[in-house]
Structure 1
Amino acid sequence: MAKKQTTTPMMVQYNEIKAQYPDAFLFYRLGDFYELFNDDAIKGSQLLELTLTQRNKNSENPIPMAGVPHHAAQNYIDILVDKGYKVAVVEQMENPADAEGMVKREVVQLVTPGTRMKDTAEASKENNYLVGISTLSMQTGFGLAYADLSTGELKVTRVEAVNAVLNELSRLETKEIVTDATLPDDLTASLTNLGIMQSKQTELLNNAEISYLTQELTDKLEEQTTSILLSYLFTTQKRSLDHLKIAQPYEVAQFLKMDRNSRANLEITTNLRTQKRSGTLLWLLDNTKTAMGGRLLKQWLEQPLLDQSSLEQRYDKVGVFVDEYFTRTSLQEQLESVYDLERLAGRIAYGTANGRDLLQLRNSLRALPAIIAALEQLDTHIFGDFIKQIDPVPDLEQLITDAIDDDAPISVTEGGVIKNGFNAQLDQYRSVTTNGKQWLADLEASEREATGINSLKIGYNKVFGYYIEVTKANIDKLDPERYTRKQTLVNAERFITPELKEREQEILEAQTESSDLEYRLFVEVRDTIKSNIARLQRLAAAVSTLDVLLALATVAEDYHFVRPELTTDQVIDIKDGRHPVVEKVLGHQSYVANDVTMSQDDLILLITGPNMSGKSTYMRQLALTVVMAQIGSFVPATSAKLPIFDQIFTRIGAADDLISGNSTFMVEMAEANTALQNATKHSLILFDELGRGTATYDGMALAQAIIEYVHAHTQAKTLFSTHYHELTALAETLPHLRNIHVGANEENGELIFSHKILEGPADQSYGINVAKLAGLPDDLIDRATQILTGLEQQEVTVANESEPKLAEPATAYVPENVPDAELADDAEQQLDLFQIEADTVSQAVLEEVDNLNLASLTPLDAMLKINEWQKQLHA
């Protein structure tokens, strides 16, 4: 560890501040740079790729030092926060020229993963939630509050168990939590494994702002948790947070519940393989034109509704927009002129908005009258109340138009922000400055004429002010009584005259007064807008809702979606249903649509058929159709009748959790258990190939027991796909189970998938045919066919025996061009049920082929796997 140097007053100040923020990088302002010292400099230079230097390098203990320019500091802060660190920003609190002794410095903001206000294009449609977690006791569950500092959103709930906390954290994609106490060990371990920063706030602030923001909370735990969260925000941000909305309580049970595994498996907002948005339901539906609309759509997808009345109202509006093409496109064109009102309001309240931000607000407000006029042409019964929510805030639009210059710079302290004519005093100062510049030009011309020095010029710098510069060769032409030397250069001298000195003071005073007055005027305008933050936030909510509804209508028309019919009798009747994302990738003409029908009495659809035939796609498309229907979207089908589901549970694909020490099979069983323990009669369960992660008989026994348990106890609508064909016999004993399968035909040794769902069980697995489609070597496929033939023959002979009879082990693969007679003789000795001891490599490949879930592989993954097998077989 680097030794700390405390001998200089500056380092004493630095170390005192650093001691208050030991877990943060300290960006310490020195002039035009932010400097890092000691361990911060060493580690920061590595993370930020900075040059590591030394302060007091000639002393016994030089201080490691690294710095970044103040104008580029935000980029470096973002890098550190993205990597999971905190940054304390230390600013000079007084003008160094006026300071007596050390310049006073303070931390003006602590930037953390949960409090950063990211302003990049790629983050525009993403929220950044900071989450507070608290508990009164383990018996009372957990309070969970969350806020987005950039938008002012503030909500709180109570959840009962650790898993429920983790599900909410997953939904919110939080990067930082705040707590006042020690959390349970299992929750702490999970937070660590998920890479979520854990911050402490042990002191509860007692101020008017927190009392105001928590005024509607009646639950003691919810109030305490929200107070912890707000105390952390006020402590770290050290400024007004007037844009924070009054905390709104909610219940997880108000929305369609999906645990974090189900949400991931269905790829609602994040692609399971790439962790990106592309290839998800959000990617398909997001035709929004504003950043705030994009964020709202994501929120809808993460919290589908259970209230039929609210859903019907959304369907009504989407339906009108589907029918009214020209109105829809006109509205979307207007929305392209609307900036992010939520985050603009946040920056205004935060005190960081500049002139260009206010111009964006003005331009956004100017688009609203045309939006309102277009909506007024639509059905007033459907849109009447909605139109009333759109307040165009004309007084603010006029204020910005009058006050802010159309060419306002980014800086708000260097002039050029306030429009001419807005303030008489400012105009006078500007006149003095402008006339002064003309006076200087006239003076320069007259001085040249009077002295005969054509190269004479009048200039200005911040150190010496205005001056007359004359080359040394022409100095003898000047009147020494009138010209006073001010500065000596290598080839010239700079002078001042009484007239220039008098006008210099007048011009500089005007410039200084002008800049100061202009900044005060800008702050007054910004504060006036700030006092209307609540109006702007209500407007943002209405406009973002409009944006989402228009987007859903556009997608519905583009992809031929239909309005679903919501029922209360637990009947599913979807005609020509499609997986919307797969259909978008394949194209409408290539996708094979399928019905999904489950009567009131149908509880379980048992799905059989080969891998890669579409079983998983069929299951997922039902779940995605449900999610779409319960956010108010039209759905991919020619007609759809659906109940409202309260929960969706999935067990799809092979995945492990090695960090927690869980194998693929353990994860599979844990996810199955979550569904069985929590599902109700109004839930939807998707189970894909349960039981394959263990021995055949164990897996089959578990699969059957799970099916029977769902049938007898859970009674949720369930889709269960399996390769255990023996399970299809359960239809004879379980009256609410129905067999369906994916059609496939074998023609001339080639497997052809129809991707069509048919009634009844599949007649065979086609596993070897799928392996052939995957490109496995021909001799391996031939050998697998021989083994399968032997097993099928042996199955008859050993049907009444307690143990399967093992055949003689195969010795090796048969080389090419061997006579058929020899092949026949050899085949008789190759009946083998579970092992091929003489060729362990081939057997290992075959077992891997048999256990592989091809539906979970991407084409690239399959190619890599096949290449690996080929290397093993030819080694």
Structure 2
Amino acid sequence: MSESQTLQSPAADHKVTPMMAQFIEIKTANPDSLLFYRMGDFYELFFEDAEIASRALGITLTKRGKHLGEDIPMCGVPVHAADDYLQKLIALGHRVAVCEQTEDPAEAKKRGSKSVVRRDVIRLVTPGTLTEDRLLDSSSNNFLCALTRLKGGSLTGDSAYGLAWIDMSTGAFHVSETDDQRLAADLAQIGPRELILPDMLLQEPEMRLLTEQSGAALSPVPRAFFDGATATDRLARYFKVKTLDGFGTFTRAELSAAAGVLAYVEKTQLGERPPLDPPSRESGAGRMLIDPSTRANLELARTLGGEKQGSLLATIDRTVTGAGSRLLASRLAGPLVNPAEIARRHDAVDFFLDNEILREGLRQTLKGAPDMARALSRIALQRGGPRDILSISDALGASREFLSRLGNISGPMPDEVAQAADRLAAAPHELSEELTRALKDEPPLLKRDGNFVAAGYDANLDELRALRDESRKVIARLQADYAEELGLRSLKIKHNNVLGWFIEAPTAQSDKMQADPARFIHRQTMAGAMRFTTTELAELESKIASAGERALAIELEIFDRLATAVIEAGDAIKAAAHGLAVLDVSAALAKLAQEEAYTRPVIDMSHAFEIKAGRHPVVEASLRRSGGESFVANDANLGPEEEAPNGNIWLITGPNMAGKSTFLRQNALIAVLAQMGSFVPAQHAHIGVVDRLFSRVGAADDLARGRSTFMVEMVETAAILNQAGDRSLVILDEIGRGTATFDGLSIAWATIEHLHEVNRCRALFATHYHELTALSQKLDRLHNATVLVKEWDGDVVFLHEIVPGAADRSYGIQVAKLAGLPASVVQRSQQVLTQLEEQDRGSKAETLIDELPLFAALAPKPVAAPAKGPDPLRTALDAIDPDDLTPREALEALYKLKAESRKDA
């Protein structure tokens, strides 16, 4: 009885079959994963796993056999197409345990006819542990990140969060320490696909919300994974060293996180060891801090809709390799703050901009260079095939070709290019030659298919292939030899299923063979013919029968030998892969600068922020694709003046649709591009290093935390005001618009004062509150700017040009008209606006500025001794109950108090 028959048998409803017992045992050991249970050419899923998979994959759910009296839900996927189904399941956040047969079915039968083939889980597939090309995005890293919190874990002794993130597909391994204020921003910069953390930490509501909003699949694990006491030993064992001193100095929090990620790798890979780099300590202080909401608002890597197309990354990406695209994304995610390091990147872009022939030759060469780092990882994990080895050979060949091109360049090379060239020069080129000689040009994907070793590489293999593929020719040659030797032209060598291969000759002509029975062994006498065999023919028959198996065995031996050589050269291969990625990014940014007329920015440690004719890179590209109007460039100068040692604030007014938000975003994007090492879309750019970038643009709610749109706006604004420093760049759009007019105006007013007096940062502040423009009279670093518009026959024409000055109106009704509001609504809106303007409510705000103290002047002052007798002003104040006043009544009461104070004066 077969295994499937055992499963289907309904004979004893309440009897657990041997197969079900095996399945349940393995499933119990892997409760959090869908179990892919190998049965012949299919991976089968049972019970709840089958129900989940059938819904997720859109495959048929069947019922086969019974377990404890109940039908067994079941579905399956073909082994040859398993990767496609795995990709869908992983994308949906599922984890899969792959359970394979670990013995030959023939061996199982020796234990008894009803014995079950031994099976075991050979791998746990999770979002962060993928290595297969078909399951990965070639342009994105696939980070598995560990997060832990440790009291007293930092170098200063304070509580700290430890982060450790790896990419198993490339071997990258980084660690960092962070704190409460930076944690969300650091996770956003890493962008992990899967996040592992102690299960107790995940039970904290705020931590759960923060980690869920990272977008990563969450994998809670026992706290023991992050045991700090054994962390150093775990890392030392993994990297086979006695001490970690050679890797650098790490905090307790970083070591704990690193131990946690390695423990998870060992759990999921079941003994296989990914070729990870030694841990590299990343200092958060070396990167521009960009919080998650700012990344989302600026659409750095994805649009607000979650798409790559339309993001800044998609707009600037001119790389031609997957590794280059990943490096570009990494640099965009974490712009530098060290001017010298930024200049090194700019020098490399300049080099390829000046050497166009070299650049285009490099790009052409790189287009055919496969992804070495990912191929190496698959080979080390025994998931690689012949194409992976050939990929390494081809990529090493590309590196050798580029080195020869560099040899024709006269003069010094910039540091970044020279270091990349050194990595390529140190690559194992002899190994590349061996791999090229060993492998066919188009090998199969899987090594088990064989036929990937090139002809002429191994003589024994060539002979076996000849036997396997040309057995008729070999037999024909032997038949000709016998016929010539015996003088029997009628001699034939034939084959049947009973005798196998045999020699046949007419009885009357077989005398010579009968006379030499030691050589020609009689097999059968037929009517008119006799059949013989020889030791030579028997050996040839045996060789032919086993030639295919023996040829495959030799090829597998060759594969293992080549794979071992590749793994031993792994460090040099990974270094060369990184070198190619750096060259790809530098050449791609030079190509971008040439095509889009980007210029090299000046980056230093001043507080300058001077942009001449700046452009929004994404909007400009979109306008070009649509064939519409050209982009209108604008200047921005937020740098210090002689009397203002810190940055300036621009208060920008003007109608909707005129380009205020575009102007705000483009300056933030220019800062990001400049500090990631790219040239920028401007005629000139001088930027003092921006250490933190803050953006409050757009409207969104946060229902998960019970926050309204206005509440989210206030939370994000609070984060900016509490964290921004004098090197920060802040862009704020329409602060205070989510509440009542006077409440919003008051909040916006106080926010500007705080930015000016306390944060002292560079900022762009767009608003429709025209009353705020009066603040420029009191705040020396606040400058008014507006967007030019023209009115024509009652309509508004947007010029998209930012000029000094202030708008006197918002043209909201004209914009509403353009949006298609019914004519009756537009007409009525104009009537209401006219009545409101006649009341001149807004003009009163300008008089308030003479009376309201600045933010910095709001500190408590010593109270003067009370005057003798009743104070009319105090009496009037005591009569007011603020909780009973509407905003309108409060303002009127304020005017009455002001009038009373003038009487006293």
Same topology, TM > 0.5: yes
Q: Is the 8 A contact 1:133 1:144 kept in 2?
A: yes
Aligned pair 1:430/2:476, yes or no?
Answer: no
What is the CA distance between 1:60 and its match in structure 2? Answer: 4.0
Against the structure 1 CA distance between its residues 465 and 722, is the aligned structure 2 distance closer, same or farther, given a 3 Å change threshold? farther
- Does structure 1 retain, via aligned residues, the 8 Å contact 2:603–2:688? yes
Work out which of the residue numbers 8, 16, 28 in structure 2 matches 1:19. Answer: 28
1:234 is matched with which residue?
Answer: 266
In the alignment, structure 1 segments of 5+ residues that lack a partner are: 469-480, 486-495, 803-832, 836-875
Deviation at 1:307, TM superposition (A): 0.9
Distance of aligned partners of 1:458 and 1:707 in 2 relative to their CA distance in 1, 3 Å threshold: farther
Is residue 338 from structure 1 mapped to residue 359 from structure 2 by the alignment?
A: no
Give the 3-state SS of the residue equivalent to 2:685 in structure 1.
strand
Q: Which of 328, 331, 335 is matched with 1:297 structurally?
A: 328
* 1:354 corresponding residue in structure 2: 385
Q: How does 1:328-407 map to 2 (within 5 A)?
A: 328-376=359-407, 377=409, 379-382=411-414, 383-391=417-425, 392-407=427-442
Q: Take 2:825 and 2:80, find their aligned partners in 1: how far apart are those partners?
A: 65
1:698/1:230 CA distance change after superposition, 3 Å: same
Report the Cα distance in structure 1 between the residues aligned to 2:757 and 2:218, rounded to whole angstroms.
44
CA contact (8 A) 2:127 2:217 kept: no
Three-state SS of the structure 2 residue aligned to 1:279 is coil
C-alpha deviation, 1:753, in angstroms? 1.3
**2:191 maps to amino acid:** E
Paired residue type of 2:546:
E
The letter of the residue matching 1:793 is E
Contact 1:256–1:303 (CA under 8 A) maintained in structure 2: yes
Instruction: Give the match's secondary structure for 1:135.
Output: strand
After superposition, give the CA deviation of every residue in 1:710-745 in whole Å (9 maximum; x if it has no partner).
Answer: 111100101111100000000111111111111112
Question: What residue is the counterpart of 1:210 in the other structure?
Answer: 238
Corresponding position of 2:19: 10
CA distance in 2, matches of 1:165, 1:378: 47
**In the superposition, relative to structure 1, how do residues 416 and 693 fare at CA in structure 2: closer, same or farther (>3 Å)?**
same
Quickly say closer, same or farther: Cα 1:212–1:769, change in 2 above 3 A. farther
Q: Are 1:4 and 1:38, in contact at CA under 8 Å, matched by a contact in 2?
A: no
The two structures have a TM-score, normalised by structure 1, of 0.83
1:493 maps to: none
Deviations 1:334-357 (A, max 9, x none): 111211112112112122221122
Residue correspondence of structure 1 range 822-837 to structure 2 within 5 A = none
CA apart distance, 1:186:
1.3
CA drift at 1:209: 4.2
**CA contact 1:413–1:516 (8 Å) conserved in 2:** no
Which residue type is aligned with residue 430 of structure 1? R
In structure 2, the residue matched to 1:475 is none
Shift of residue 167, structure 1, vs aligned partner: 2.5
Q: Which residue of 2 aligns with 1:132?
A: 146
Query: How much has 1:310 moved relative to structure 2?
Result: 1.1
1:166 and 2:203 are equivalent in the alignment: no
Counterpart position of 2:787: 742
Contact 1:4 1:63 (C-alpha < 8 Å) held by counterparts: no
Determine the C-alpha separation between the residues in 2 that align with 1:426 and 1:264. Answer: 58
The residue that corresponds to 2:696 in the other structure is 651
In the alignment, the residues of structure 2 paired with residue 797 and residue 393 of structure 1 have an alpha-carbon distance, to the nearest angstrom, of: 74
Q: Partners in 1 of 2:338 and 2:146 — Cα distance?
A: 28
Q: Determine if the alignment matches structure 1 residue 324 to structure 2 residue 358.
A: no
Farther-moved stretch of structure 1 (43-52 vs 392-401) = 43-52
Q: How does 1:397-796 map to 2 (within 5 A)?
A: 397-434=432-469, 436-439=471-474, 503-587=540-624, 590-600=630-640, 601=644, 602-795=647-840
Aligned with residue 284 of structure 1, among 315, 331, 352: 315
C-alpha deviation, 1:411, in angstroms: 2.6
Going from structure 1 to structure 2, the CA distance change for 1:16 and 1:378 (only over 3 Å counts) comes to farther
CA contact (8 A) 1:458 1:467 kept: yes
Q: Distance in 2 between matches of 1:663 and 1:530?
A: 55
- Deviating more after overlay: 365-374 vs 432-441: 432-441
Ranges of 4+ aligned residues in structure 1 off by more than 6 Å: 2-6, 441-447, 464-468, 496-502, 796-800
- Shift of the 4–644 alpha-carbon distance from structure 1 to 2, 3 Å rule, reads farther
C-alpha contact (below 8 Å) 2:363/2:584 kept by paired residues: yes
Matched residue, 2:875: none
Match of 2:170 among 148, 151, 154: 151
Residues 599 and 797 of structure 1: CA distance in aligned 2, closer, same or farther (over 3 Å): closer
Match for residue 865 of structure 1?
A: none
Moved more, 66-75 or 281-290: 66-75
1:501–1:41 Cα change, 3 Å: farther
Alignment root-mean-square deviation, CA: 3.3
Structure 2 distance, partners of 1:673, 1:437, is 84
> Counterpart in 1 of 2:94?
85
- For the Cα contact (< 8 Å) 1:180–1:228, is it kept in 2? no
**Aligned partners of 2:136, 2:67: CA distance in 1, in Å?**
46
CA distance in 1, matches of 2:104, 2:178: 51
**Matches of 1:360 and 1:763, distance apart in 2:** 64
Moved more, 199-208 or 34-43: 199-208
**How far is the alpha carbon of 1:22 from its aligned partner?**
0.6
The separation in 1 between residues aligned to 2:808 and 2:609, in whole angstroms, is 26
* Partners of 1:144 and 1:165 within 8 A in 2: no
Aligned residue in 1 for 2:83: 74
Structure 1, residues 526-584: CA drift from partner, whole Å, max 9, x if none?
A: 11111111101101111101100111111111111111112333122211111111111
SS class of match (1:28): strand
Residue 102 (1) aligns with residue 104 (2): no
> Which secondary structure does the structure 1 equivalent of 2:150 belong to?
coil
The alignment partner of 1:670 has SS state of helix
* 2:160 paired residue among 134, 141, 156: 141
2:341 corresponding residue in structure 1: 310
Q: Once the two structures are superposed, what CA deviation does each residue of 1:816-861 show, in whole Å capped at 9, x if it has no partner? A: xxxxxxxxxxxxxxxxx999xxxxxxxxxxxxxxxxxxxxxxxxxx
Q: Give how far 1:158 is off.
A: 1.0
The aligned residue for residue 45 of structure 1 is 54
Distance 1:271 1:51 in 2: 36
1:186 aligns with 2:206: yes
Shift of 1:699: 0.2
- Cα distance change of structure 1 residues 86 and 745 upon mapping to structure 2, 3 Å threshold: same
Amino acid of the structure 2 residue aligned with 1:591: F
Give structure 2 stretches of 5+ with no counterpart.
1-7, 153-157, 503-521, 848-885, 889-905
What SS is found at the alignment partner of 1:179? strand
Question: Which one-letter code corresponds to 2:440 in the other structure?
Answer: D
Q: Distance in 2 between matches of 1:88 and 1:735?
A: 65
What TM-score, normalized to structure 2? 0.80
Shift of residue 385, structure 1, vs aligned partner: 4.0
**What secondary structure is seen at the aligned counterpart in 2 of 1:288?**
coil
Distance 1:794 1:165, change over 3 A: closer
What per-residue deviation string (whole Å, max 9, x for no partner) do you get for residues 434-475 of structure 1?
Answer: 56343457899999xx9x9x9x99689xxx99699xxxxxxx
Cα gap change, 1:660 to 1:465, in 2 (>3 Å): farther
For each residue in 1:52-98, what CA deviation from the matched residue of structure 2 results, as whole angstroms up to 9, or x when unmatched?
Answer: 33343599444322222211112112211111111001111121212
Residue 200 (1) aligns with residue 221 (2): yes
> SS of the residue aligned with 1:573?
strand
Contact 1:134/1:181 (CA < 8 Å) preserved in 2? no
- Matched position secondary structure for 2:448: coil
Shift in Å at residue 518 of structure 1? 1.7
CA shift in 2, pair 1:61/1:795, >3 Å: closer
State the identity %.
Answer: 36
Distance 2:680 2:499 in 1: 71
Matches of 2:65 and 2:805 in 1, distance apart?
A: 84
For residue 252 of structure 1, what is the aligned residue in structure 2? 284
The structure-2 alpha-carbon separation of the partners of 1:179 and 1:569, relative to structure 1 and needing over 3 Å to count, comes to closer
